[in-house]
Amino acid sequence: MSEVRRMMEARSTGINQVLEQKNAGFFVTAEQAFKNNGVLDGFSLRSDGRSTTPMVYMTEELMEKTDTELAEYFEHVFRTCKPDFQDLSNVITKDFIMNNARPRLYSSDNIPDMEAHGIAYMRMKGVPLVIGFYLIVGKQDNGIATVTLRCNHLEATGIDITDLYDVAILNEEKECVVASMTDILGNLMGNFNPVEPEFPVMWVVTNRLKMNGAAAILCQSVVEQLKNRIGDRFGIIPCSVNELICLSADGMDENYLTETVSDINRTMVSTEERLTDQVMIFEDGVIRTL
């Protein structure tokens, strides 16, 4: 057990005493959760009769708060999140999963942690990536609540992972986005009106939520759009788990791009959103590493 986890276990008693005095209607437990590129320590905000709970991941700033201050902060989070949280018994059903599952890409470096936490996944051939799956269970102004699908969820609902993959891709197809970098820059800069080349150099692949949008590259409609706009052979730059950039592979400087991606990942992309340093290429109908 980590030192942070020991501190959290010790503090949960004091926090729960404050919550009980306030009749807050929930209590906290110190737990770990699998996240992309690591396992995070946090407090789950639990209430009787509900199996879906908000989780607050601990930071140094939060750990410096008193038990009373943390209890007040957790109460705010709980009240904010509670209205939109669905109970797991309503979402871990075959119908709900098949209608709502979405794909999510992870680096294959995550496999040991994924297996330790029972996360359902499939390996991608030819690239150091794996495909996980998730459900959206609540949307609010301050964020989106999701549930990562685990092996025991599939076992309980009798869903085969290959069938899950097929429906998750179909669900993602409805939300995927392919936009030129020129259009995105124009929208960001308001009055900026760049000259649009006949074929934009770079295309951004994501989804409407801009969350886990890198997985949209698995959708056939996205591949067809890119082939029509770039050609049958194009490079894939992994910006983050939320988006990819695609560009013509002709004249692509592989070493420069790999070094650039690695540098950006270390300096500009958070650990949780980092996908891979590996630049990829689409050719002959498949994605592979350079």
User: Taking residues 63-70, what's their average pLDDT?
Assistant: 94
Is residue 78 located within the same domain as residue 17? Answer: yes
Is residue 205 located within the same domain as residue 280? Answer: yes
- Burial-class residue 214 by CB neighbours within 10 Å (0-12, 13-18, 19+): buried
What pLDDT is recorded for position 281? 94
What pLDDT is recorded for position 157? 96
Is residue 164 located within the same domain as residue 240? Answer: no
Q: Which residues pair with 283 in a beta bridge?
A: 286
Q: How confident is the model at residue 195 (pLDDT cuts 50, 70, 90)?
A: low
d(CA 265, CA 245): 14
d(CA 41, CA 55): 9
Is residue 141 located within the same domain as residue 195? Answer: no
Residue 240: Cβ within 10 Å count = 23
User: Taking residues 30-37, what's their average pLDDT?
Assistant: 88
Last residue within a domain, chosen from 84, 100, 120 = 84
What pLDDT is recorded for position 141? 62
| 205 vs 90, more confident | 205
For the cut 50, the answer to whether the pLDDT of residue 219 exceeds it is yes
What pLDDT is recorded for position 188? 57
Is 204 in contact with 178 (CB distance < 8 Å)?
Answer: yes
Is 217 in contact with 287 (CB distance < 8 Å)?
Answer: yes
Is residue 151 located within the same domain as residue 245? Answer: no
Which two three-digit tokens encode residue 214?
Answer: 């890198």
Is residue 280 located within the same domain as residue 181? Answer: yes
Q: How confident is the model at residue 199 (pLDDT cuts 50, 70, 90)?
A: very low
Q: Can you state the angle between helices 3-21 and 67-81, rounded to 10 degrees?
A: 80
What pLDDT is recorded for position 51? 67
Parallel, antiparallel or unpaired: strands 202-207 and 243-248? antiparallel
What pLDDT is recorded for position 84? 55
Is residue 123 located within the same domain as residue 214? Answer: no
DSSP H helices, the chain, are 3-21, 60-63, 67-81, 88-91, 94-100, 111-116, 151-157, 161-173, 181-188, 220-229, 254-267
Last residue within a domain, chosen from 42, 66, 84 = 84
Last residue within a domain, chosen from 59, 84, 109 = 84
Is residue 150 located within the same domain as residue 195? Answer: no
Domain range enclosing 208: 176-289
The DSSP code for 105 is E
Number of domains in the chain: 3
